[in-house]
């Protein structure tokens, strides 16, 4: 089977790691796999080294009203004609637009909803003005017999609300798999000073600025600790400036992007995740697989699909730094509690294996008899 995965670029992120892990798995089990991107950025040289990565140019892919699609992805169009994929698996709305702007292929089309795309909302008048309204997305999806995958209960509810009725039977909910190996034994101790980790893009919704208030609260309690923030994004300069203004340079460090995420998790003692929105929360599941007690924003809905607060994780409001600090102290007050949370986190993570994921994805591909 020929499988084509499409991504804007191989930036450092959960979706990109997900795609490369899945592509490597499919290739390992005899499928011919290509990952198509539209930018030469590749922050995953090791993970993509055994894959065929094809990079194309495209700066626009806009359907004109009752006319031929207007795009400049001619190289990609020629590639599709030559490769003749059986599966075209798109992992972003933008790459789906590019695929739909190219001549139709005799393939199974998959649009993977890793995020909630407002273009599918009927109130999106900006896209209406671009002549690519919700009705046209619907028509294109019907003509190409596109199937849709939502990564969590939250995203599934969003698209069941916004997808037009003719497309609803094609929507499946398929939680992400865990790409990192789970720890074999739970943690029994923590470092001195305590190592607190946060992972995510430096954007407003991730709420990394709340970690400054948490740091001040921990300092007031006399705790010896450090906070490492892994990720990059547009708010990096502002966050660094605020850390300096608060005099917290010795407590909070911006580590940028990291290629060695297993080691990153292993070096930490606790994960804090203050984000208000997550489609799924793969970073949390990865940290749990390495036995980290995770403190997650209680209003964040995506991770609720797999978390059992109080057993394999902790829930808190990061708007209340004192409350988060109380939870950290409670974890550190008992080695047996720390070990229990760690063991339960590892057990939860093992439910999201790649093998289980493929068994559920194969029927969507139309490959019930070709299980990897």
The residue among 20, 345, 18, 356 whose CA lies nearest residue 182 is: 345
- Tell me the pLDDT band of 279, cut-offs 50, 70 and 90: confident
The residue among 48, 51, 13, 49 whose CA lies nearest residue 31 is: 51
Residue 32 confidence (pLDDT) above 60: yes
Give the contacts of 201 (CB within 8 A, at least 6 positions apart). 13, 231, 232, 233
The pLDDT of 59-87, averaged and rounded, is 76
* Contact of 148 with 163, CB cutoff 8 Å: yes
pLDDT of residue 66: 47
Phi first, then psi, for residue 230 (nearest 5°) are: -100, 125
The pLDDT of 102-115, averaged and rounded, is 93
pLDDT of residue 371: 37
- Tell me the pLDDT band of 172, cut-offs 50, 70 and 90: very high
Task: Read off the pLDDT of residues 306-318 as tens digits, 9 standing for 90 and up.
Answer: 999 999 999 999 9
Spatial distance between the Cα atoms of 140 and 131, rounded to a whole number of angstroms: 13
The residue among 35, 161, 20 whose CA lies nearest residue 95 is: 35
The pLDDT of 354-361, averaged and rounded, is 91
* Contact of 280 with 294, CB cutoff 8 Å: no
Question: CB neighbours (10 Å) of residue 357?
Answer: 21
pLDDT of residue 126: 52
- Tell me the pLDDT band of 372, cut-offs 50, 70 and 90: very low
pLDDT of residue 21: 94
Give the contacts of 14 (CB within 8 A, at least 6 positions apart). 176, 280, 282, 283
């Amino acid at each position: 089977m020929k499988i084509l995965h499409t991504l804007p670029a191989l930036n450092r992120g959960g979706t990109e790691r997900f795609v490369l892990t899945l592509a490597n798995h499919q290739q390992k089990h005899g499928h011919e796999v290509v990952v198509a991107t539209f930018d030469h950025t590749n922050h995953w040289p090791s993970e993509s080294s055994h894959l065929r990565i094809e990079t194309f140019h495209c700066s626009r892919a806009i359907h004109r009203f009752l006319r031929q699609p207007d795009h400049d992805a001619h190289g990609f169009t020629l590639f599709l004609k030559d490769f003749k994929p059986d599966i075209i698996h798109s992992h972003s709305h933008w790459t789906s637009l590019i695929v739909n702007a190219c001549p139709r292929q005799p393939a199974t089309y998959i649009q993977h909803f890793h995020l909630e795309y407002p273009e599918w909302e009927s109130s999106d008048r900006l896209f209406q003005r671009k002549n690519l309204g919700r009705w046209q997305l619907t028509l294109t999806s019907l003509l190409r017999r596109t199937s849709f995958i939502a990564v969590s209960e939250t995203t599934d509810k969003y698209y069941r609300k916004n997808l037009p009725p003719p497309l609803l039977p094609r929507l499946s909910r398929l939680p992400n798999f865990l790409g990192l190996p789970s720890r074999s034994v739970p943690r029994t101790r923590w470092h001195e000073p305590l190592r607190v980790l946060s992972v995510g893009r430096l954007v407003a919704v991730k709420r990394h600025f709340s970690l400054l208030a948490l740091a001040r609260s921990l300092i007031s309690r006399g705790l010896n600790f450090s906070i490492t923030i892994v990720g990059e994004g547009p708010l990096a300069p502002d966050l660094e400036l605020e850390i300096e203004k608060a005099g917290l340079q010795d407590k909070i460090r911006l580590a940028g992007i990291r290629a060695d995420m297993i080691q990153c998790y292993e070096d930490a003692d606790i994960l804090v995740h203050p984000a208000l929105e997550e489609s799924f929360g793969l970073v949390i599941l990865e940290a749990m697989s390495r036995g980290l007690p995770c403190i997650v924003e209680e209003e964040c809905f995506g991770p609720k699909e797999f978390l059992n607060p109080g057993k394999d994780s902790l829930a808190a409001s990061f708007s209340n730094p004192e409350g988060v600090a109380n939870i950290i102290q409670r974890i550190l007050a008992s080695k047996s509690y720390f070990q229990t949370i760690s063991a339960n986190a590892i057990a939860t993570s093992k439910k999201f294996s790649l093998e289980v994921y493929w068994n559920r994805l194969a029927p969507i591909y139309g490959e019930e008899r070709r299980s990897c």
